[in-house]
Structures are given as C-alpha cells and as structure tokens.
C-alpha cells in the first residue's frame, strides 16, 4: 500500500520537461520567458544613442522655440486665432524635438520583444480573471520566493547603476567645480555631455544585468511549466484520444467497411475459394479498371459469409487453392490484380462466362 502511494506521489511530481504542446498552450496564453530589464536596457541604449547623434539638432529646435516665444509670441495680441496659432506651432516644434525620441523608443521596445519571444499576439492576459484580485493569492505572490528574488534584483540594479553614475560624476568632479566660471552655453554643453556618458555607462551596466535576468527568467519559466509523468500521459490521451474510445471507433469503422464490402459481393463475377479458409470476390468492369479487381476478400468466418452471400445471389464460386491464397496475400480490396495473376484469373473468368452462357 505504501509503495502504491509512493508511486502515485512520484507520478504527480513535476520533474519532466514541458512538451511542445504545453509550450504552445502557454504561449497562446501569453506566458513566455521574458525579461523587462532587456526591454528597458535596449530602450535606454537606443534613446541615448539617438540623443548623442541628434543632440545638436534637438538643441537648435528647442532654442528656436524659446527664441520665437520670447521675441514673437509675447508681442501678439491675445485673441482666439492667435492662441490657436501659438498652440499649433508650439505642438509642431515640440513634436520635432520629442518625436524622434518617441519613435526610436517604440522601435527599441518592439525589437527587444521580438528578439526575446518572436511575434506573439494574444488577448488572453486581458481577460477578466477573479484570481488576479484574490487577496489570498495576492498575498502569496507578495511573500513568494519570486517576489524576494525580484526585490533583490531591484536592490542590485540600484547599487550597480548608482555606483556607475557616481564613478562618472567623480571622474568629472574637477570640471564641475569650474562650471561657475564658464558661460551658459559651455555649462549646458558640459552637463549634457556628462549626462550622456552617465546614461550610456548605466545602460551598459543594465544590459549586463539584463543578460543574467533573462537567463533567470528562462530558468524560472522552464521550472514553472514542468510536467509530471501523469500530466504527460493525460496530454497524450487528449491528443491521441482515449484508447477505449479509439478502439470502439476503429471497430465501428471495421463494421461499416465490412457491410460495404458485403454489399458489393452480389456484383462480383466470381468468388475464388481455397475452398474453406479463403474467399476472394473478383469483378471485371472495363469502364472502371483495365484489369479485374478485388471487391471483397476474407478468411475463415468472413470467407464463409462471402460464399454464403455469393450463393444467395447466384454468383459463381470457383475453387482454386493457390490462386485464392496468393490473391488474398497480394491484393487489397479495391485494387486491380497484379500482372502475374492475369493468366490464372482470365482462365477463371472465361470458365465463368462459359457457364453463364450455358445457363
């Protein structure tokens, strides 16, 4: 009894890798191995690269907006038309400044997701699920091992990125002390350059962390979708169907095929027997085939039924033991007889046609 309970326990333990079907089902539900840190790192990297390349253009557009505002807009009369024009022109200028950043952020977000999970569109996560607002389940998630790991990851990111940014600031501390002696344009240029270096350095550190986070997410995902031996057996049954139901379906198909075969026997030209164990019903119709073909065959009980139906429908029965055995082994129902049997079958059919003429 104890051995049986142990076997049941081990059969229910999730020790097996997920099957392709399980993986596909999880993917349809939107459950995939994905790291948000990869998305964040790629987005920041692309944005900082864009800012490094187009910083001058963005600065010129922003200065042009400020200059136009304080030299032109302030002198305009406040009317409905002027307000609308100011609003429209400001939005256009602002779009020129922010638009490239937004566009590159969208591209980076899409690219990082495609890189991790490929193309995936599903509405399953958007469906209403009461488990998501269950306070007990929520408490379990908050105090779970995964939540603790995420907390440690967040603290590690804060420490590493904070260290990197502090190191960059420390490198430029002397120049920062001299900013008071520079003009506004030089000071802004310096702070912009330091900010860019700081951002790229922090992003590279985040990318390195993201690699480890992605590996952990893969590991955690694989662990969560593991299956027990019983799960695999149940899945196989669902795919292949219950063996009992399958056997019943096959039996039903055999019965239908048998009835169809028996209904064709009255149309046969001859039934060749051995004489007790084998029976082969032959039909020759030049409109359907270039050679005689088998419309029914059977052994033992089925052979007896074939002969019985043939007798009831006045189909000639011819005894030819070697031919009956050979045809049964070589030809399936509905197939034309092979060329090596042409001579023997032709002789049988000629004999049958002569008998029918005499009758």
Contact status, residue 52 vs residue 261, Cβ threshold 8 Å = no
Give the C-alpha distances (Å, rounded to integers) separating 105 from 99, 199, 348: 10, 15, 84
CA 319 to CA 271: how far, in whole Å?
8
Contact status, residue 307 vs residue 262, Cβ threshold 8 Å = no
Collapsed DSSP state (helix, strand, coil) of residue 294:
strand
Collapsed DSSP state (helix, strand, coil) of residue 98:
helix
Q: Which residues contact 264 (CB under 8 A, 6 or more apart)?
A: 281, 283, 295, 296
Geometric angle at alpha carbon 266, from 264 and 270, rounded to 5°: 100
CA 306 to CA 300: how far, in whole Å?
10
Contact status, residue 283 vs residue 268, Cβ threshold 8 Å = yes
Provide Rg for the chain, Cα atoms.
41
* pTM listed for this prediction: 0.52
The pLDDT score that the predictor gives to residue 18 is: 79
Question: Residue 145 has which token pair?
Answer: 């091992």
DSSP strand pairing (270-273 vs 316-319): parallel
Q: In which residue are the tokens 């893969």 written?
A: 218
CA 197 to CA 165: how far, in whole Å?
9
The pLDDT score that the predictor gives to residue 139 is: 64
Upper half-sphere CA count for residue 299 (Cβ side, 13 Å):
7
CA 166 to CA 254: how far, in whole Å?
80
Collapsed DSSP state (helix, strand, coil) of residue 72:
coil
pLDDT tens-digit profile, the chain (359 residues):
444 444 444 445 777 787 778 888 787 777 787 888 888 888 888 888 888 888 778 878 888 888 888 888 777 887 888 888 888 888 888 888 888 888 888 888 888 888 887 777 766 666 666 666 666 666 666 667 777 877 888 888 889 888 988 888 898 888 888 877 788 778 878 888 888 888 888 888 888 888 888 888 888 888 888 888 887 777 777 766 666 667 777 788 788 878 888 888 888 888 888 877 888 888 888 777 778 888 888 888 888 888 888 888 888 888 888 888 888 888 888 888 888 888 888 888 888 888 776 44
């Amino acid at each position: 009894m104890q051995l049986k309970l142990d076997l049941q326990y081990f059969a229910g333990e999730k020790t097996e890798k997920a099957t392709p079907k399980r993986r596909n089902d999880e993917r349809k539900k939107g459950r995939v191995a994905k790291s948000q840190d990869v998305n964040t790192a790629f987005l920041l990297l692309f944005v900082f690269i864009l800012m490094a390349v187009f910083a001058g253009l963005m600065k010129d557009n922003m200065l042009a907006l400020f200059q136009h505002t304080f030299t032109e807009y302030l002198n305009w009369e406040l009317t409905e038309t002027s307000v609308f024009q100011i609003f429209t022109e400001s939005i256009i200028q602002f779009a020129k400044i922010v638009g490239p950043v937004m566009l590159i952020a969208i591209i980076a977000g899409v690219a990082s997701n495609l890189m991790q999970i490929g193309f995936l569109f599903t509405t399953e996560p958007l469906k209403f699920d009461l488990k998501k607002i269950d306070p007990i389940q929520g408490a379990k998630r908050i105090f779970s091992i995964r939540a603790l790991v995420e907390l440690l990851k967040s603290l590690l990111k804060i420490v590493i990125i904070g260290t990197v940014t502090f190191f960059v600031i420390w490198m430029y501390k002397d120049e920062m002390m001299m900013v008071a002696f520079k003009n506004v344009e030089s000071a802004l240029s310096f702070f912009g350059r330091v900010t860019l270096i700081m951002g790229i350095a922090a992003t590279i550190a985040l990318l390195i962390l993201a690699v480890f986070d992605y590996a952990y997410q893969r590991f955690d995902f694989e662990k969560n979708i593991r299956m027990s031996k019983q799960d695999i057996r149940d899945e196989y049954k669902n795919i292949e169907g219950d063996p009992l139901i399958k056997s019943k379906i096959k039996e039903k198909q055999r019965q239908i095929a048998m009835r169809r075969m028996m209904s064709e026997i009255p149309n046969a030209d001859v039934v060749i027997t051995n004489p007790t164990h084998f029976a082969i019903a032959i039909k020759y119709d030049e409109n359907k085939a270039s050679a005689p073909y088998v419309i029914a065959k059977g052994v033992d009980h089925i052979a007896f039924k074939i002969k019985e139906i043939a007798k009831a429908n006045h189909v000639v029965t011819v005894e030819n033991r070697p031919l009956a055995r050979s045809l049964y082994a070589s030809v399936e129902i509905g197939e034309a007889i092979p060329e090596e049997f042409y001579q023997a079958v032709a002789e049988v059919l000629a004999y049958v046609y002569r008998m029918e003429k005499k009758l």
